[in-house]
Structure 1
């Protein structure tokens, strides 16, 4: 990285840990493929991470999973600094009120990351793992995060070489203008078939967008009429979350 000095071994070890965002259990071969490292290097790094308690190896399957040190570290996250922890009670309250899945997303470069979620208690529900990375071009939360990003960042997002051909950029820009005016974004089967969503921004202490609060569910329940009903409580929840930051 230009302008920064990094330790290659540490980078590789962290890359291995990040693989577990995609799957809870991984074999040496899978990790080597995902990190594009040779197996001997991966094996040595895995042995170190296992020895330090960051990974655990199943003796029967020979697969690795996150170890107790990860959970020990996460237990010491500051609730006041981490919105994923700070906002969780309000997200649970909103879920109980509207009976659909509530998620919190942040932007990371040209993607959005689901950093917290409270799943609907209904039998049929949308399930996406915390830590999942998704495109900004589609989905209500992606559009919210883009709409309230600086114009320079919006230009980078719209210039993404992986921009999907199915999304018309002119129409997308018009959607962003409407979202900035109303503070609301909706989507119907944009990212995932059979799913609709509503999203609103949460602004930080500095006035910049911090996260996108989203409600999602099957289109059979979260119809356009239902989305209109849930918008007021979703906006109220976002306002309460913002006040918690002051």
Structure 2
């Protein structure tokens, strides 16, 4: 029989605690997308271990939170403890490095400049960019900082904050807001709408000829760790259809990067 995951370890090769550890990993690897719920007998067959051994291993894994036991059926599924275990690895995936191929795809599909920025607590900072092939385009050098409320990337990050914190940044002047910027006066309601829609638009608010769309990038915890922005001259996105296409492309890129970082819509 073909065994799933890691086969059991022969004590002639690995002994003691090391064998127990590897057998425990084999049990965890028996679970799959196709077979997310398994009984003791099924696991034993898949990994080639005795049922009593598998039962002891699953009991220990359940106590540690790495598997969950259904009290009614006695069957097991993977537990949330595995997410905590993999957290340091997922967090170490550099958002900039993960974003590069998706920025390239975004610029190729839209022909407009794409960039990813991160948040330092009161500014959006551009950390990577792929410039539009057009001669007339909007670009920003890596390291450019934005702290204007009108910036679509700044509002995406602000929308993730507690309302009181976002208001404090604006009222203190750390986030600058220009009078008559054309945006809703109630910034709290506006930011809540951005959070709901999962994107923000800068339609000439920072510069008359600039059009920008930003969408949040989330990590495995659902936390916003970056922001994807596509920038273009307004003259190239005058039609509503063109704007909607750009919004959808940016949201798709942000979603793909988020998934790469371990995010799930069900998080």
TM-score, normalised by the number of residues in structure 1: 0.63
Q: What is the total number of aligned residue pairs between the two structures?
A: 169
Q: Does 1:236 align with 2:248?
A: no
For residues 161 and 237 of structure 2, the distance between their equivalents in structure 1, rounded to whole angstroms, comes to 27
Larger Rg belongs to: 2
| Distance 1:173-1:223 versus aligned 2 partners, 3 A rule | farther
1:207-226: CA deviations, max 9, x gaps? 11111111111010123511
For residues 156 and 81 of structure 1, the distance between their equivalents in structure 2, rounded to whole angstroms, comes to 31
Q: Is the 8 A contact 1:136 1:145 kept in 2?
A: no
Counterpart among 172, 188, 212 of residue 227 in structure 2: 212
**1:126 aligned counterpart, secondary structure:** coil
For residues 171 and 139 of structure 2, the distance between their equivalents in structure 1, rounded to whole angstroms, comes to 30
Q: Is the 8 A contact 1:158 1:169 kept in 2?
A: no
**1:159 aligned counterpart, secondary structure:** helix
2:177 equivalent in structure 1: 164
**2:146 aligned counterpart, secondary structure:** strand
Q: Is the 8 A contact 1:196 1:223 kept in 2?
A: no
1:117-158: CA deviations, max 9, x gaps? 111001100121010011141111111111112334313322
Q: Which runs of 5+ in 1 are unaligned?
A: 1-79
For residues 128 and 103 of structure 2, the distance between their equivalents in structure 1, rounded to whole angstroms, comes to 9
**2:107 aligned counterpart, secondary structure:** helix
Counterpart among 177, 193, 208 of residue 208 in structure 2: 193
- C-alpha root-mean-square deviation of aligned residues, in Å? 2.2
Shift of 1:89: 0.6
For residues 164 and 113 of structure 2, the distance between their equivalents in structure 1, rounded to whole angstroms, comes to 32
**1:87 aligned counterpart, secondary structure:** helix
TM-score, normalised by the number of residues in structure 2: 0.58
2:101 equivalent in structure 1: 89
| Distance 1:136-1:208 versus aligned 2 partners, 3 A rule | farther
